[in-house]
Amino acid sequence: MVGIVVVSHSAELAAGLADLAGQMAGPDVRIEHAGGTGNGALGTDEGRVRDAIRRADGGDGVVILGDLGSAILTIRHVLDSRANNHATLIDAPIVEGTVAAAVMASAGSTLEDVVRAAEEARSARKL
């Protein structure tokens, strides 16, 4: 099953979104979060992101969603330094993308299908 990683400047935002996505996707999907710097400050940390990817990786791939600016840079640095990369950074709004990816992953979908569902969030209307 494809795993999900949520990266935010805020630990609370990342944890809350992982919780929301988990409530919708059910208990089988690994949804990991890496928010904040680890000492309670707002920001992102490469080590925390790397650990979250490792925890989310069940062998079928990982999709990663980040919130803003430097969170995306942090994720890209981590991915550039990984040798075996079946982890994919998604370019999409973080809430909608994470929830769509988690539900698609929960159906046992391929990495390709989970990526596509998450990227749909770019153009999805709310109304």
Partner 1 sequence: MLASSETVVALPADVALHARPAAQFVRTAVGFSADIAIAVNGRQADAKSLLAVLALGAEGGTELRLTASGEDAPRALDALRDCIAAFS
List 24, 42, 68, 73, residue binding partner 1 (CB under 8 A): 24
Q: Is 33 a catalytic residue?
A: no
* Binds partner 1 by CB under 8 A, chosen from 40, 83, 84, 127: 127
- Residues 36-55, mask of contacts with partner 1 (x by CB under 8 A): --------------------
Q: Say if CB 34 and CB 17 are below 8 A apart.
A: no
- Nearest CA among 35, 32, 24, 37 for reference residue 4: 32
* Distance of closest approach, residue 90 Cβ to partner 1, in angstroms: 13
- Whether 14 and 68 have beta carbons less than 8 Å apart is answered as no
Residue ranges in contact with partner 1 by CB under 8 A: 23-26, 96, 99-100, 103-104, 106-109, 113, 117, 120-121, 124-127
